[in-house]
Amino acid sequence: MTETTRRDEIAAGLAEVEARVAEACRAAGRAREELTLIAVTKTYPASDVRHLAALGVGHVGENRDQEASAKARDCADLGLAWHFIGQLQTNKARSVARYADVVHSVDRPRLVAALGAEAVRAGREITCLVQVALDDDPARGGARPRDVPAVADAVAGTGGLRLGGVMAVAPLGEEPARAFARLRQVAQAVREAHPDAGIISAGMSGDLREAVANGATHLRIGTALLGHRKPFVR
Ligand SMILES: *Cc1c(COP(=O)(O)O)cnc(C)c1O
């Protein structure tokens, strides 16, 4: 496929996503300006990131450090905000701290300490979201709702880090609206203790409407923008 048609394809995906976001905002009585669209570019090449930037997208999301760090380096001239949205091992904190502006998957005190130390070392400030587990599957990451306040306090008390708010992925096998309503309660509790931590990162290609209805401020959209991903091969 030529680059021009790929650009057109992404532009069409973006227009469709924006129409869905506008409709979700209308239904929820919210303004589009309350929402930040993060284009999830995992598995897609840096050239797609360039197309997105040219189309006015300012935020990109990635979930694997190796892929993300290479793409962020390739695209350093674009002035984008880089969001790390995948599960994060402590030994990757140094690498992620070099390029990530926001880490959405902070779910345990040890990771908070590692990210803070590496942010300070890199001379950067990283916005952290506490990932909330909305089901009981530990494989998907996230702090249990009752553990979230302690992780939030840890972020707020760590140099190099700024507490932004919370993030979650809707569980399998539950109505996303119900799960996002629980997330909203957790977000409110965090915000009572930390008034500036107003971010709610929720909503993907399949459930952005439910997320907008439940107070999401940041949407993480991949498939609906860029197409279906090929299965990941390590
Ligand atoms: C891949 C991914 C997304 C984007 O999902 P789509 O269904 O492709 O929109 C959002 N959030 C996280 C954490 C992801 O890993």
Q: 232 pLDDT exceeds 60? A: no
The DSSP result for 39-64, as a single string, is EE-TTS-HHHHHHHHHTT--EEEES-
> Mean of the pLDDT values across residues 14-30?
98
Q: Is 172 helix (H, G, I), strand (E, B) or coil?
A: coil
Q: What is the pLDDT of residue 1?
A: 61
Ligand 1 atom index nearest CA of 223: 8
Q: What is the pLDDT of residue 2?
A: 66
Q: What is the pLDDT of residue 234?
A: 46
Pocket test for ligand 1, best of 88, 220, 221 (most atoms within 8 A of CB): 220
Pocket test for ligand 1, best of 41, 57, 204, 218 (most atoms within 8 A of CB): 204
Residue having the nearest C-alpha atom to atom 6 of ligand 1: 222
Helix (H) or strand (E) holding 128: strand 126-131
% of the chain surpassing 90 pLDDT: 93
Instruction: Give residue 151 CA to ligand 1 midpoint distance, Å.
Output: 23
Phi then psi for residue 108, to 5 deg, are -160, 150
> Mean of the pLDDT values across residues 50-68?
98
Q: What is the pLDDT of residue 147?
A: 97
Pocket test for ligand 1, best of 10, 40, 205 (most atoms within 8 A of CB): 40
Instruction: Give residue 12 CA to ligand 1 midpoint distance, Å.
Output: 19
Q: What is the pLDDT of residue 140?
A: 80
Average pLDDT, the chain: 96
Residues with CB under 6 A from ligand 1: 40, 42, 63, 85-86, 169, 204-206, 220-224
Pocket test for ligand 1, best of 85, 87, 210, 228 (most atoms within 8 A of CB): 85
Q: 203 pLDDT exceeds 50? A: yes
Q: What is the pLDDT of residue 137?
A: 77
DSSP state of 79: -
User: Does 3.20.20.10 match the CATH number of domain 3-226?
Assistant: yes
Residue having the nearest C-alpha atom to atom 7 of ligand 1: 205
Widest distance between CA atoms in the chain: 51
Residue with tokens 């923008």: 225
Domain residues of the chain, as ranges? Answer: 3-226
Residue having the nearest C-alpha atom to atom 11 of ligand 1: 220
Q: At what angle do helices 109-122 and 148-156 cross, to 10 degrees?
A: 20
User: In terms of C-beta density within 10 A (0-12 exposed, 13-18 middle, 19 or more buried), how is residue 116 classed?
Assistant: buried
Instruction: Give residue 33 CA to ligand 1 midpoint distance, Å.
Output: 22
Please, which residues have CB within 8 angstroms of residue 171's CB and are 6 or more apart in sequence? 134, 135, 137, 140, 179
Q: What is the pLDDT of residue 138?
A: 73
> Mean of the pLDDT values across residues 61-87?
98
Tell whether the torsion through CA atoms of 57, 96, 226 and 35 is positive or negative.
negative
Residue having the nearest C-alpha atom to atom 12 of ligand 1: 85
Instruction: Give residue 94 CA to ligand 1 midpoint distance, Å.
Output: 23
